[in-house]
Amino acid sequence: DAGVIQSPRHEVTEMGQEVTLRCKPISGHDYLFWYRQTMMRGLELLIYFNNNVPIDDSGMPEDRFSAKMPNASFSTLKIQPSEPRDSAVYFCASSLDSYEQYFGPGTRLTVT
């Protein structure tokens, strides 16, 4: 299995622009998680889905962030408009039963 796939691996954008991060979970996994990692705050859960349905989005920082999972093999995390404080590494993880989560390689986002 290829593991969790994320794209792009690096994204540099200007403040105010829209950013879309993409994730393909491991085939057969029912859970998908979006995390953000920064030096200051560590690894934080943003939102997670079960069977394509958002279950808990309490970690989404504000309305500028949105996430979708249109099918079992694809999810997006969108930031609009982006701000410099959104700069971080964003990880997607998937899980068969919500316990063992397998992480992707991450997308390093820089907002200037």
Partner 1 sequence: EDQVTQSPEALRLQEGESSSLNCSYTVSGLRGLFWYRQDPGKGPEFLFTLYSAGEEKEKERLKATLTKKESFLHITAPKPEDSATYLCAVQAGDTDKLIFGTGTRLQVFP
Verify binding: residue 112, partner 1, rule CB under 8 A: no
Longest pairwise C-alpha distance within the chain: 38
Verify binding: residue 106, partner 1, rule CB under 8 A: yes
CA distance 98 to 81: 31
- Which of 43, 62, 78, 96 is in the footprint of partner 1 by CB under 8 A? 43
Verify binding: residue 1, partner 1, rule CB under 8 A: no
* From 14-22, 42-50, 61-69, 77-85, span contacting partner 1 (CB under 8 A): 42-50
- Could you give the dihedral angle defined by the CA atoms of residues 79, 83, 84 and 88, in that order, rounded to the nearest 10 degrees? -20
Interface with partner 1: number of residues (CB under 8 A): 23
Verify binding: residue 93, partner 1, rule CB under 8 A: yes
* From 14-22, 52-60, 68-76, 79-87, span contacting partner 1 (CB under 8 A): 52-60
Contacts with 60 (C-beta within 8 Å, 6 or more apart), sequence order? 46, 47, 66, 67
Verify binding: residue 12, partner 1, rule CB under 8 A: no
Strand order from edge to edge, sheet including 19-24: 5-7, 19-24, 74-79, 65-71
